[in-house]
Structure 1
Amino acid sequence: MIPKIVRRGLPLLPLAALAGCNTVVMNPTGDIAKQQADLITVSVLLMLIIIVPVMILTVLFAWRYRKGANAKYEPDWDHSTKLELVIWGAPLLIIIVLGLITWVSTHKLDPYRPLDRIDENRPIAASTKPLEVQVVALDWKWLFIYPEQGIASVNELVTPIDTPIRFKITASTVMNTFYVPTLAGMIYAMPGMETTLNAVLNKTGDYQGLSANFSGEGFSHMKFAYKGVSAGDFDAWVQKMKTNPGVLNRADYLSLEKPSVREPVRHYGQVETALFNRILNRCVAEGNVCMNEQMAQDHKRNQVAAAVRALPKTSAAQMADAEICVVPEAKAALVSTNNISVKK
């Protein structure tokens, strides 16, 4: 037999479990995350306007019309204008309000939108330049490059508080999600693509970031330390990092890119110029053509070919006779469109 006092305490076990939960999502230290938490709170409260009365009325109706109750019997009742207004009007108003809040918040909290405030009491001057951090999701670790400072770190992110931060995010192989709960919402990291997150941290401390999108064997350990420091401490950290002899070049990156689990924190005092762009455009390895260069070349070829096809036959013939050098696609267009031979 379970003691009576234990049986009475069983319903409270879920609350006891929740007491130990990390509530950082609803109590963040970044302004963007705070606005997102407020949006969740307002949405829940608006929905409770319907949910709470329905739950109360469920119990009330069950009690009021229980067997043996002295309830009024009205078998022919089928309509009440007041009741219909309440049933349809209240949810409709809530949907309208929620829709308005969602529309405004979607634009205001757009991760690509530059910040306009440090917090609710401090706006950002138009001339303020954000700190840029380039983020690369690897298997199964995180690489952070500070292009203006010329340094990089693995599985450790350090930023100053009250400073706008612009994250440029990509991935090496598979899709991941860059997520720092205390800072802002989740942003996808995808190979060959760049996503952006603008955010700001308002309180110093040690926090944690992670990948929130399953990406294979080492996914559960794909976490990193996030440290929010003062502006002075950040400058000191940068100077200390620059004294590190580690250099992150293309060869080192290709080695780092290989899958590994529980990768320790690493620091690099120097970073090869434009390394992030090479990662983004899939051309870190020697001999690989960068995606942006290949697309630019294809676009140029298509433009030339389209222009040649639009030429009159006389102009095309004159171009051929003048032995003007054109790209192969343009030569093919001349032959197919104008039925002429082009000299090599």
Structure 2
Amino acid sequence: MRSILLASVLIGASLLGGCTEGVLNPKGPIALAERQILINATGIMLAIVIPVVIATLGVAFWFRASNERAHYRPDFTYSGRIELLVWSVPLMTVLLVGTVAWVSSYDLDPPKPIASSTKAIKVQAVSLDWKWLFIYPELGVASVNHLTIPVGTPVSFELTSSGVMNSFFVPQLAGQIYTMAGMVTRLNMRADYAGTYRGLSANFSGDGFADMHFKVDATPSERFAQWVSSTSSAGLVLDLKTYADLARPSAAVTPFTYHSVAAGLFDSIRMSSTQSDDALCRSYPTSMRAER
């Protein structure tokens, strides 16, 4: 018995050992609320899983071959009380889990701004093959495969894709949200603790998918201001020409920054994706377009 208990503890520790950078170790209000949804849903489901496991073991033990008190009833076909028990408990569980998940998810609607006395910073994110571009339109700078944000300040994202659909995910700060060509999705998050967090693509997008990750540096406001100042004083200019070079497929790209960003570039990226898709659609035969 002691060996079984020790083995269970060791297995549990090994399974949870990789959760330091995941959803079970939140560092912001959105991720914290999402973890609570996960805990609540798991607790509700365990309310049926545990009794079912115990009942299964109990039935197997009671109807063992050596138990002469167990009655063998080969003609038994139906019991209203058993049917009521079998269906009512799962139904109540589904209703509870669904209600908790729906209400909580509604409160965490991605475009919903985070209540704060501090003005949110706007970031425009573009998923490329196979890297991430982050534009700070109000600050006039941009970065690739590296996101820097101030601690305690909400961040309002606008996200799109240069081509294939992708998914933006920072497990310790916010849930994932898809990026799609020609469309803009929105997400809000906030880091309550300084640190470096893992960001990644959560949707397979081709050969370079495994290297499509980035770091999120949450720094104090003073250090964030210093980063903006140093970034805006050196580097390349992000315009349509340099963006075209950046948009070429490449993997494992070392993070770098742009000290200036052309006005309206994000909208141009979104519109160019729409126009490319329309041009591709027009190039198809009529029958293929109908199927598409």
Do Structure 1 and Structure 2 share a fold, with TM-score over 0.5?
yes
Match of 1:220 in 2: 210
After superposition, the CA RMSD in angstroms is 2.7
Larger CA Rg, structure 1 vs 2: 1
Q: Secondary structure at the residue paired with 1:67?
A: coil
1:36 aligns to 2:34 (yes or no): yes
Q: Counterparts of 1:224-239 in structure 2 under 5 Å?
A: 224-239=214-229
| Match for residue 22 of structure 1 among 15, 19, 24 | 19
Q: Counterparts of 1:55-134 in structure 2 under 5 Å?
A: 55-73=53-71, 75=73, 83-116=82-115, 124-125=116-117, 128-134=118-124
Task: Report the AA paired with residue 206 of structure 1.
Answer: T
Q: Counterparts of 1:268-287 in structure 2 under 5 Å?
A: 268-282=258-272
Task: Report the AA paired with residue 45 of structure 1.
Answer: G
Indicate if the aligned counterparts of 2:182 and 2:273 stay in contact, CA closer than 8 A. Answer: no
Q: Distance in 1 between matches of 2:240 and 2:14?
A: 48
Task: Report the AA paired with residue 125 of structure 2.
Answer: V
Match of 1:191 in 2: 181
Q: Which has the higher contact order (CA 8 A, sep 6+)?
A: 2
Q: Distance in 2 between matches of 1:17 and 1:255?
A: 44
Q: Distance in 2 between matches of 1:245 and 1:263?
A: 16
Indicate if the aligned counterparts of 2:168 and 2:176 stay in contact, CA closer than 8 A. Answer: yes
Question: What is the Cα deviation at residue 235 of structure 1?
Answer: 1.2
Q: Size of the alignment, in residue pairs?
A: 274
Deviations along 1:221-256, one digit per CA (max 9) or x if unpaired, are: 001111111122111111111111421111111001
Q: Secondary structure at the residue paired with 1:169?
A: strand
Change in CA separation of 1:208 and 1:8 when aligned onto 2, cut-off 3 Å: closer
Indicate if the aligned counterparts of 2:62 and 2:70 stay in contact, CA closer than 8 A. Answer: no
Percent identity at matched positions?
A: 40
Change in CA separation of 1:249 and 1:105 when aligned onto 2, cut-off 3 Å: same
Deviations along 1:163-208, one digit per CA (max 9) or x if unpaired, are: 1111100111111111111111111111111110011111110111
Gap runs ≥5 in structure 2: 279-292
Task: Report the AA paired with residue 159 of structure 2.
Answer: I
Q: Counterparts of 1:158-177 in structure 2 under 5 Å?
A: 158-177=148-167
Question: What is the Cα deviation at residue 147 of structure 1?
Answer: 0.5
Gap runs ≥5 in structure 1: 1-5, 117-123, 292-344
Indicate if the aligned counterparts of 2:19 and 2:25 stay in contact, CA closer than 8 A. Answer: no
Question: What is the Cα deviation at residue 99 of structure 1?
Answer: 2.4
TM-score by length of 1: 0.73
Task: Report the AA paired with residue 30 of structure 2.
Answer: I
Q: Secondary structure at the residue paired with 2:175?
A: coil
Task: Report the AA paired with residue 49 of structure 1.
Answer: A
Q: Distance in 1 between matches of 2:101 and 2:5?
A: 42
Q: Distance in 2 between matches of 1:132 and 1:19?
A: 34
| Match for residue 50 of structure 1 among 48, 51, 54 | 48
Task: Report the AA paired with residue 191 of structure 2.
Answer: L
